[in-house]
Amino acid sequence: MIIQDTEKRVFTLQTRSTTYQMKADENGVLLHVYYGPKVHGGDLSRLIRYADRGFSPNPDEAGNNRTYSLDTLPQEYSGSGAGDFRLPSLELELADGSHVADLRYVGAAVQKGKYALTGLPAFFASPEEADTLVITLEDAAAHVRVELLYGVLEEYDLITRAVRVINCGEEPVGICRAASVCLDFQDTPLDFITFDGGHVKERGLHRAPLRPGVQSVGSIRGISSHQHNPFVMLCQPGAGEEHGVCYGAALVYSGNFEAAAERSQFEDVRLTLGIHPFHFCWTLEPGQVFTTPEAALICSPCGFGQMSRQFHRAIRSHLLRDVWKDRRKPVLVNSWEAAYFDFDAQKLMTLAREAAGLGVELFVLDDGWFGHRNNDSSSLGDWWANEEKLPGGLGALSKEINALGMEFGLWIEPEMVSEDSELYQAHPDWVLNPPGRPYTRGRCQMVLDFTRPEVREHIFQALQKVLDSAHVSYLKWDMNRSLAQVWSAALPARQQGEVYHRYVLGVYDLLERFRQANPHTLIEGCSGGGGRFDMGMLYYTPQIWCSDNTDAIDRLAIQYGTSFAYPPATMGAHVSAIPNEQTGRSVPLATRGTVALSGTFGYEMDLGKLSEVEKALVVRQIADYKESFGLIQEGDYYRLTAPTPDGAPTAWLHVSPDRREALLCLVSGQTHAAQPFRRLRLRGLDPELRYRLTGDGEAWSGDVLMHAGYPIPMLGEYQSLRLWLKAE
Ligand code: GLA
């Protein structure tokens, strides 16, 4: 609910369990008043304190009032160059060369339903489910208006934000920085939590108290990146899974981003999140509008778990759009780790036949099917089937696969081109690279200039022809390098600072075209695994390959970190062969299954190489997947323990919305002698109900399982359990 007190100029956003308030004060400065657990108290602006602080200057309207400074007041959307020396939200370059942005309140309006952003991914909702608040600010001297958009999805405690910058003047204006969100907290010690790592080790949780100054994570790789995720948290120092106030902030965007938290000299905290200012400068001609990507905020008054579950629910019902989002996704086998580039039709059919015999429903042909690609140094851009490997092309292959009762899926990497390709020979200027500079190659490949409509058009036509030539029901959309030497031949020098963002807009544009042209095709996002695991991509691809690391033990930490913002059913998770390609570790097949079954399930191996006993286990895993998918897709997710290397088990729980069913999953780490007796305290159950556990004759009451715990058996190294709880 949005409550507007137009007289006092106080704006309050009430969600199920949180309150967010801001106020335009007597000088027209939009102050941030409160964000946290739900409160009812009208105008809370008396919380804000004023004092004369040395070296904190006073704006003209304050006259001689030295206690009024933009540098000390909590701002809703901070300006720059005008006396607030903390993180700026908006930085402008004006025609006279000045870099000042100083915003004052103009007006506000409430609209039914949630705003949409043209060309950008965003949460959506029906008019009954959400409202929008638009607050207009203005820098009168710059002739620039700023519209702050707030979408309120009350049931999910979700507040979305985006910003429109409008040039109302006669001269062009450069935007050097435009955050999607700014959040100020007065007198609140907070920890900063980020999700970091690298290729094959994505989204490890890192938590530290904020120290004085700016701490930030971000990406200038052109993708949201393996290194840092565009989702961060702030929390009270004592907060944990089930207690303490915490805030999650996600950027619904897949390109360069910066998440910065600053602890000021007075121990206030400011968080800004938006497009990274590195090589960002957007020229706004008179009358033009620039729209930032959307940011999504959820505050939980009682710990991380509730925040995650609210994000999961909101993403499932208000961000994923695919026809597949409510359907059980097919169990797939992917050819990559089974064959890499070394295959022909015969070998693929052998893999497929084995898989079909065990109940696998979708065969995915990964990299290597096109041009003359036999390794990763050629043919990207030449999107036609290699008939030497695949006589009759993909049409013939998909037909044979379909005849086995399986669907057919295909890997593509539309954004890239190899030098050794017909496409590059024909259009060398279609790659991003400044003139006269040698290439910086990544995986031997170069990045196509997706800012250019004609490049996107060519790729769309070429790939759509492939899709039309075969029966393709699944696409894996990959992207395998970071952007460097970013420069577009299609834009003048002064607009080169727009290329990173225009590239992302181009990717979204093409994804949208593919979605619309192939509405029944399931698209899985991928960037060398989880290099672009973000809410922007989820708007177009309802699942994302979580990591190129398929080692089940490493995956525990990767899937754990990912689960803070993203629902389990969006995480591509496959069982692969042992010893694992990435780690050399051998983990039992049952445990590999337990881990992968908590995502979108599949296999990434030659199933024909398994023993008969293992094949029987695969058949059982597929049956388990079919039985549990609904719970994993729709249920609430509880992290019971965090993965640790010291032998304590990693455990999590999926609970059905009516709490009558749950699935407890547990994987033991390294073993040590003389293990302690361990009990696992479950969560989210109905304390009044009695649950029967698989393999356990007796029923357990919900309160006993949650308060006293379930005594878990002593397990050997890397063993696992998957126990159903069903209410009597
Ligand atoms: C990336 C993907 C892998 C695989 C290869 C193919 O690394 O993450 O799953 O598709 O590309 O080249």
pLDDT tens per residue across span 233-270 = 999 999 999 999 999 999 999 999 999 999 999 999 99
* Percentage of residues in the chain having pLDDT higher than 90: 96
Nearest-angstrom CA–CA distance, 262 and 265:
10
The reported pLDDT for the residue numbered 187 is 76
Which atom, in ligand 1's list, is nearest to the CA of 476? Answer: 10
Q: What is the pLDDT of residues 115-165, one digit of tens each?
A: 999 999 999 999 999 999 999 999 999 999 999 999 999 999 999 999 999
Q: What is the average pLDDT score of the chain?
A: 97
Q: Is the CB of 542 under 6 A from ligand 1?
A: no
Q: Is the CB of 222 under 6 A from ligand 1?
A: no
Catalytic residue among 344, 388, 614, 658: 614
Q: Is residue 697 scored above 80 in pLDDT? A: no
Q: Is the CB of 367 under 6 A from ligand 1?
A: yes
Ligand 1 centroid – CA 608 distance (Å) = 22
Mean pLDDT of the 305-319 span: 98
Mean pLDDT of the 622-646 span: 95
* Percentage of residues in the chain having pLDDT higher than 70: 100
The reported pLDDT for the residue numbered 171 is 96
Q: What is the pLDDT of residues 649-687, one digit of tens each?
A: 999 999 999 999 999 999 999 988 888 899 999 999 999
Nearest-angstrom CA–CA distance, 600 and 546:
10
Q: Is the CB of 366 under 6 A from ligand 1?
A: yes
Ligand 1 centroid – CA 586 distance (Å) = 22
Q: Is the CB of 524 under 6 A from ligand 1?
A: no
Picking from 451, 452, 449, 458, the residue whose alpha carbon sits closest to that of residue 431 is: 449
C-alpha distances in Å from residue 653, one per residue of 484, 627, 636: 42, 15, 8
Which atom, in ligand 1's list, is nearest to the CA of 411? Answer: 10
Nearest-angstrom CA–CA distance, 381 and 362:
25
Q: What is the pLDDT of residues 185-227, one digit of tens each?
A: 987 899 999 999 999 999 999 999 999 999 999 999 999 999 9
**Cα Rg of the chain, angstroms:** 27
**What are the residues whose beta carbons fall under 8 Å from the beta carbon of 425, sequence distance 6 or more?**
none
Which atom, in ligand 1's list, is nearest to the CA of 366? Answer: 10
Q: Is the CB of 322 under 6 A from ligand 1?
A: no
**What are the residues whose beta carbons fall under 8 Å from the beta carbon of 420, sequence distance 6 or more?**
377, 378, 379
Nearest-angstrom CA–CA distance, 87 and 261:
8
C-alpha distances in Å from residue 296, one per residue of 150, 307, 311, 525: 10, 12, 9, 20
Q: Is 112 exposed, middle or buried (0-12, 13-18, 19+ CB in 10 A)?
A: exposed
Name the residue at shortest CA distance from atom 12 of ligand 1: 367
Element (H, E) at 179: strand 173-185
CB atoms closer than 10 angstroms to residue 681 = 14
Picking from 40, 168, 581, the residue whose alpha carbon sits closest to that of residue 334 is: 581
Nearest-angstrom CA–CA distance, 29 and 56:
16
**Strands of the sheet with 636-639, listed across from one edge:** 636-639, 650-655, 661-667, 720-727, 690-693, 699-701
Name the residue at shortest CA distance from atom 3 of ligand 1: 528
Q: Is residue 648 scored above 90 in pLDDT? A: no
158-183: burial string, b at 16+ Cβ within 10 Å, e else: bbbbbbbbbbebeeebbbbbbbbbbb
Q: Is the CB of 545 under 6 A from ligand 1?
A: yes
Catalytic residue among 262, 354, 413, 534: 534
Token pair 């203005």: residue:
138
Mean pLDDT of the 101-117 span: 97
The reported pLDDT for the residue numbered 698 is 83
The reported pLDDT for the residue numbered 324 is 79
Q: Is the CB of 482 under 6 A from ligand 1?
A: no
Q: Is the CB of 25 under 6 A from ligand 1?
A: no
| 534 is a catalytic site residue | yes
Q: Is residue 288 scored above 80 in pLDDT? A: yes
Q: What is the pLDDT of residues 352-390, one digit of tens each?
A: 999 999 999 999 999 999 999 999 999 999 999 999 999
Q: Is residue 90 scored above 80 in pLDDT? A: yes
Nearest-angstrom CA–CA distance, 549 and 376:
19
How many secondary structure helices (H) and strands (E) does the chain include? 12, 38
The reported pLDDT for the residue numbered 309 is 98
Nearest-angstrom CA–CA distance, 311 and 35:
17
Q: Is residue 469 scored above 80 in pLDDT? A: yes
Q: What is the DSSP secondary-structure string of 14-44?
A: E-SSEEEEEEE-TTS-EEEEEEEE----S--
Pocket test for ligand 1, best of 201, 225, 336 (most atoms within 8 A of CB): 336
Alpha helix (H) ranges present in 518-587? 535-540, 552-562
Mean pLDDT of the 400-410 span: 98
Mean pLDDT of the 321-347 span: 91
Which atom, in ligand 1's list, is nearest to the CA of 529? Answer: 8
Pocket test for ligand 1, best of 201, 370, 411, 605 (most atoms within 8 A of CB): 411
Q: What is the pLDDT of residues 59-80, one digit of tens each?
A: 999 999 999 999 999 999 999 9
The reported pLDDT for the residue numbered 672 is 86
- Which residues face 181 on adjacent strands? 273
Mean pLDDT of the 684-707 span: 94
The least confident of 40-44, 333-337, 585-589 is 40-44
The reported pLDDT for the residue numbered 720 is 96
| 614 is a catalytic site residue | yes
